[in-house]
Homo-oligomer: A and B are copies of this chain.
């Protein structure tokens, strides 16, 4: 592989001159520029990016931290969609993407620190924020640029991009309430995840603002995406609390499990039981009944997060800020009320 020296020799100039034409340095004569370009072309020269990275102390690469494990990560359409957005924006700005995953629970912390300390990335995108996150603490301590996709615990000590989960969850539940439901079972994720807690908060707010008492018994904890569990839990829940007329799944896939269970129990959807989900999984319009859910605009989330990160890296933004991506209530058939 030819180096900058080879080009220099061929063109009869110094390596620094070649470097200048490679980097479009302005103060260089048209003549030499052309000679050098020709020489580069003739011997098939391409700059060694690693060497550039070393001397420039920058890599034009963004790290993508997927929590908690690759295995789960890619199985979730949320990731696929947010990756689309990230990829599109990164590319547009000339950044590469380095995937960072951990092999075990929490393994991504080590992997991430290695990439950061090893100077392999200029900044990080953290997908899915945990409530107490050692990684964010550590990164802040190191003063390393990163953007959280989701709302971090310390809202004003981080850059982040998120949906307004509280508000959209509230709207979703109010939609149910307006349809006449006031006993609504809900499957919510672990306390560890902020998204889940935000959505639960929205649920509570909706009840409150309509003067409906919150009943802890109607809330079932579940890991997001665990359809099989949702299926079983739904049966348990409806057996224990036959007064329920609606079910709220923290994730569309949870709702699918619920739908299956409800049908098997012989109830009709939406006549006997209304069901809503969250995230607008592509399948939700195909399933029967088509699921009423919230579209969280995942693609846009990815784009905005990436754009913000690049601004942070290039110091176009210097004080903590965030961006809220709007959501859309997608009314389909699982609650009736299509005309609402």
Is A317's CB within 8 Å of the partner chain B?
no
Is A117's CB within 8 Å of the partner chain B?
yes
Residues of chain A at interface, number, CB under 8 A: 53
Is A119's CB within 8 Å of the partner chain B?
yes
Residue of B nearest to A51 (CB): B54
Q: What is the CA–CA distance of A73 and B80 in the complex, to the nearest angstrom?
A: 9
Is A219's CB within 8 Å of the partner chain B?
no
Counting chain B CB atoms within 10 Å of each CB, which of A50, A80, A282 scores highest? A50
How many whole Å from A81's CB to the nearest CB in chain B? 7
A50 neighbours in B (Cβ, 8 Å): 50, 53-54, 59, 118-120
Is A46's CB within 8 Å of the partner chain B?
yes
Quickly give the copy total for this chain.
2
Instruction: Please tell me if the beta carbons of B103 and A92 are within 8 angstroms of each other in the complex.
Output: yes
Is A91's CB within 8 Å of the partner chain B?
yes
Chain A contacts with B in 30-76, Cβ cutoff 8 A: 46-54, 59, 61, 64, 70-71, 73-75
Is A115's CB within 8 Å of the partner chain B?
yes
A74 neighbours in B (Cβ, 8 Å): 80-81, 83-84, 87
Is A256's CB within 8 Å of the partner chain B?
yes
Instruction: Please tell me if the beta carbons of A46 and B287 are within 8 angstroms of each other in the complex.
Output: no
A119 neighbours in B (Cβ, 8 Å): 1, 48-50
Is A77's CB within 8 Å of the partner chain B?
yes
How many whole Å from A171's CB to the nearest CB in chain B? 26
Partner of A101, one of B91, B98, B113, B283: B91
Instruction: Please tell me if the beta carbons of A71 and B98 are within 8 angstroms of each other in the complex.
Output: no
Instruction: Please tell me if the beta carbons of B48 and A71 are within 8 angstroms of each other in the complex.
Output: no
Q: What is the CA–CA distance of A260 and B287 in the complex, to the nearest angstrom?
A: 10
Q: What is the CA–CA distance of A81 and B103 in the complex, to the nearest angstrom?
A: 16
Instruction: Please tell me if the beta carbons of B87 and A99 are within 8 angstroms of each other in the complex.
Output: yes
Instruction: Please tell me if the beta carbons of B46 and A70 are within 8 angstroms of each other in the complex.
Output: no
Chain A contacts with B in 94-121, Cβ cutoff 8 A: 96-103, 111, 113-115, 117-120
Is A88's CB within 8 Å of the partner chain B?
yes
A259 neighbours in B (Cβ, 8 Å): 286
Instruction: Please tell me if the beta carbons of A71 and B84 are within 8 angstroms of each other in the complex.
Output: yes
Is A175's CB within 8 Å of the partner chain B?
no
Is A264's CB within 8 Å of the partner chain B?
no
Is A79's CB within 8 Å of the partner chain B?
yes
How many whole Å from A47's CB to the nearest CB in chain B? 6
How many whole Å from A338's CB to the nearest CB in chain B? 17
Q: What is the CA–CA distance of A216 and B48 in the complex, to the nearest angstrom?
A: 52
Residues of A at the B interface (CB closer than 8 Å) are 1, 46-54, 59, 61, 64, 70-71, 73-75, 77, 79-81, 83-84, 87-88, 91-92, 96-103, 111, 113-115, 117-120, 227, 256, 259-260, 282-283, 286-288
Assuming A46-B114, A92-B103, A286-B287, what are 8 further A-B pairs, CB within 8 angstroms? A48-B119, A50-B50, A70-B83, A91-B103, A96-B115, A98-B98, A282-B283, A283-B283
14 intermolecular pairs with C-beta atoms under 8 Å apart:
A46-B113, A48-B118, A50-B53, A52-B118, A70-B83, A71-B84, A71-B88, A73-B87, A74-B80, A83-B99, A96-B99, A98-B98, A256-B286, A259-B286
